[in-house]
Amino acid sequence: MNSTTSRRARLTCLLALVALGLALSAQASPTIVSLPPHLQIMPLGDSITYGSHSGYRRPLGLLLSSVTTNFVFVGSSIDPDPSLPDNERHHEGHPSYAIDNTYTNLDGFDDTLYRKYGGDSRKPNGGHWFTGLASGPDARPPLYPDVILLMIGTNDRDNLDGAQDRLDRLISKIVTMRPKAHLIVARLTPITKTDKYSSFVGTYNQAVDAVVAKYATNHLVTEVDLNTGFPADGLGHDQMHPNDIGYNWMATQWYNAILKVYGQPIANPQ
């Protein structure tokens, strides 16, 4: 080996060591981000938002807590788990709710599913989730969330006809009522229970893409993909609701979507 070749080899080796050191440093040091103060986040959706063991909300809260303590989840429902921090207990996840039930309860009242199936988690808590209630047992002030995490449509799986129009109508209402809120709309997680439902998810997610694209130009509307890359072992026994593996993965996608809204570098939480 001549001297020129030897110098090139040493230089190549040195550059490789520097690159390795930088990579290890990046893995060891969490991404530093700065989110707005008093950040209000509304998890909005159906049973997947409600979640078993608080669903994606618990791991999302942990991720957010790693970069800021100045955030709060908001909504009319309160998670019964006392181990959750107070700022992470509120949400607007209601099992069995479809697009239209959510649409009505933003500024009205629809307890159809609670009367049909029962269960405290299905109570709309008086509805008026955005506008609030001036009096009564569910009295509360209006909500003006900074970020709305919308995942809805799974319960429209037996009513696909018109689902895109219903989603369009819901998003139109949200951006009209709360134009300053950043609305992040989720593509649905997989359903492997039947081929019919699996096909529904694919078709519905195309509708999500189309509706989000319609509003993204002139409104604070973005999309998060909770389908592509979903863990193969991330669904529970019903092959519809995520398990802890799936919820942890979802939390990371929501987390990065929130960072992206505020122009922060996408983190890779350890």
Burial of 167 (0-12, 13-18, 19+ CB in 10 A): buried
Residue range 116-154, pLDDT digits in tens:
999 999 999 999 999 999 999 999 999 999 999 999 999
pTM value is 0.87
CA gap 148, 86 in Å, rounded: 19
Average pLDDT per 10 consecutive residues for the chain, totaling 270 residues: 43 36 38 82 98 96 94 97 96 98 98 98 98 97 98 97 98 98 98 97 98 98 98 98 98 97 70
pLDDT at 265: 72
pLDDT at 192: 98
